[in-house]
Amino acid sequence: MNDIKRYKNNLSEERNSAALYKAMAEQEKNPTIKDIYYRLAATEEKHASKWETLLLEKGASIPPFHVSLRTKTLIWLMEKFGPDFVLPSMVSSEDSAANDYANQPEASSMVSSERAHAILLGQINNSEQLSGLDGPTLAKMEGRHRSAGGNTLRAAVLGASDGLVSNFNLVMGVAGAAVSSSNILLTGIAGLLAGGISMALGEWISVQSSRELYERQIGIEKEEIETNPEEEIEELILIYQAKGISEEVARPLAIKLLQNPDTALDTLARDELGIDPDDLGGSAFVAAFTSFLLFSVGAIIPVIPFFILTAQTAVYTSIAFSTVGLFLVGAITTLFTGRNIFYSGLRQILFGLLAAAATYFIGSLIGVSLS
């Protein structure tokens, strides 16, 4: 897509967003939210003006504004069911716009603005009253910060479950091919190492990528504070209004905050981006090692019997060990699901044994064909 076509597409999106926010403001009965929608519309119009300027610099004409079919549909739905009905769609649109702009150098200053809009709309969508919601709460709504204890335990259980199920099936598949116990043991250890390293690498990439993304967003925010403080003040006013603070109080507070760049950056990172600058996801190496360890704990269970037993005795013992492991995994998941322990445990056993039986059968067919 050439620059002119891209600029025109962006201009159309910003114009349609502004029209939607104005329509939402006209329908909204809560005066605080109504004012927020009007301000969001004004911000989108500023963005549209930038794309108009870029088009003129390229020697292109400014196209007339045509309301898109999507915008017409959302306005119609809003008129029938109220502004709250279209809020989820607007949250998705703002997130999508932020992601699109992240890859466009001309729009770098708009990325955090669009993300801030998504946070504000998400807050309105998920709360009945616009009061008492702080930056960490907004961040949770954005999915950046979860309950550390619950998620750590969940990750531990799922990591061990992955190791147990995958290596149990691998061992049963090889056992079905009627190979020696020593070969099964070697295969199990290889499966443990391969799966563990794969999980660790994936976790390292995930955590490191998240950290780099957060650092980049904070860097962009710092640049915006230095180059466009007026717009950042307006964003802060919107955030404070969404917390239930009147504009009369929010404006001087935002202006005073921007006078100290370091404090302003910390506040905007937390409240606008939903990022805690002091916690960007932890160490990627620690996460990778933990992932490897958790996977290995599960993966070693079906392999243990082959260290001390041979032939079918080792296979049957491996099945018994794995069955107990599957039940424990299912039982522990009830901490998250609230289901009956025996129901979850037996269900986990059923699915695990069915998968193992399938791989054992396939392994036996391959073993016969190769013999």
Does one domain contain both 302 and 159?
Answer: yes
- The structure tokens 């992240």 sit at 102
In a domain, 170, yes or no: yes
Report the CATH number at residue 40. Answer: 1.20.1260.10
In a domain, 250, yes or no: yes
In a domain, 276, yes or no: no
Does one domain contain both 256 and 301?
Answer: no
Q: Name 17's Cβ contacts closer than 8 Å, sequence gap at least 6.
A: 41, 44, 93, 97
In a domain, 111, yes or no: yes
Check pLDDT > 70 for residue 149. no
Q: Name 244's Cβ contacts closer than 8 Å, sequence gap at least 6.
A: 32, 129, 130, 131, 132
Does one domain contain both 179 and 307?
Answer: yes
Q: Name 258's Cβ contacts closer than 8 Å, sequence gap at least 6.
A: 225, 229, 232, 233, 236, 264
For 185, the token pair is 């043991």
* Helix orientation angle between 148-176 and 341-370, rounded to the nearest 10 degrees: 30
Check pLDDT > 80 for residue 204. yes
275 and 175 Cβ atoms separated by less than 8 Å: no
Q: Which region among 116-130, 135-149, 205-219, 308-322 has the lowest average model confidence (pLDDT)?
A: 135-149
Say how many C-beta atoms besides its own lie within 10 A of residue 234's C-beta: 18
Question: What is the extent of the structural domain holding 256?
Answer: 214-271
Does one domain contain both 103 and 198?
Answer: no
Across residues 261-282, what is the average pLDDT? 70
Check pLDDT > 50 for residue 221. yes
Q: Which region among 157-166, 272-281, 326-335 has the lowest average model confidence (pLDDT)?
A: 272-281
pTM for the full predicted model: 0.53
Does one domain contain both 9 and 82?
Answer: yes
Check pLDDT > 90 for residue 275. no
Check pLDDT > 90 for residue 232. no
Q: Which region among 14-23, 92-101, 119-128, 336-345 has the lowest average model confidence (pLDDT)?
A: 119-128
In a domain, 135, yes or no: no
Check pLDDT > 60 for residue 278. yes
Query: 153 vs 344, which has greater pLDDT?
Result: 344
- What confidence category does residue 274 fall into, taking pLDDT thresholds of 50, 70 and 90? low
Q: Which residue from 307, 369, 359 is spatially nearest to 176, judged by alpha carbons?
A: 359
Does one domain contain both 184 and 239?
Answer: no
98 and 111 Cβ atoms separated by less than 8 Å: yes
Q: Please tell me the predicted confidence (pLDDT) of residue 320.
A: 93
In a domain, 98, yes or no: yes
Query: 261 vs 302, which has greater pLDDT?
Result: 302
Half-sphere exposure of 17 toward its Cβ, with a 13 Å CA cutoff? 29
130 and 124 Cβ atoms separated by less than 8 Å: yes
Separation CA 236–CA 257 (nearest Å): 9
Q: Which residue from 88, 90, 82 is spatially nearest to 40, judged by alpha carbons?
A: 90
For 39-89, how does the pLDDT look when each residue is reduced to its tens digit (9 = 90+)? 888 888 888 898 899 889 888 889 998 888 888 888 888 888 888 878 877
Find the angle CA(162)-CA(196)-CA(304) to the nearest 5 degrees: 75
Does one domain contain both 202 and 219?
Answer: no
For 18, the token pair is 């502004």
3-state secondary structure of 114: helix
Check pLDDT > 80 for residue 225. no
Q: Please tell me the predicted confidence (pLDDT) of residue 302.
A: 92
Across residues 85-100, what is the average pLDDT? 78
Does one domain contain both 50 and 107?
Answer: yes
Count of domains for the chain: 3
Does one domain contain both 64 and 119?
Answer: yes
Q: Which of 68, 96, 130 is the last residue of a domain?
A: 130
Check pLDDT > 90 for residue 212. no
At 143, give phi and psi (nearest 5°): 85, 10
In a domain, 143, yes or no: no
What is the 3 state secondary structure string of 147-208? Answer: CHHHHHHHHHHHHHHHHHHHHHHHHHHHHHCCCCHHHHHHHHHHHHHHHHHHHHHHHHHHHH
Mean pLDDT of the chain: 79
- What confidence category does residue 304 fall into, taking pLDDT thresholds of 50, 70 and 90? very high
Does one domain contain both 256 and 354?
Answer: no
Does one domain contain both 160 and 227?
Answer: no
Does one domain contain both 48 and 189?
Answer: no
Separation CA 129–CA 242 (nearest Å): 9
Q: Please tell me the predicted confidence (pLDDT) of residue 129.
A: 41
In a domain, 104, yes or no: yes
Q: Please tell me the predicted confidence (pLDDT) of residue 145.
A: 36
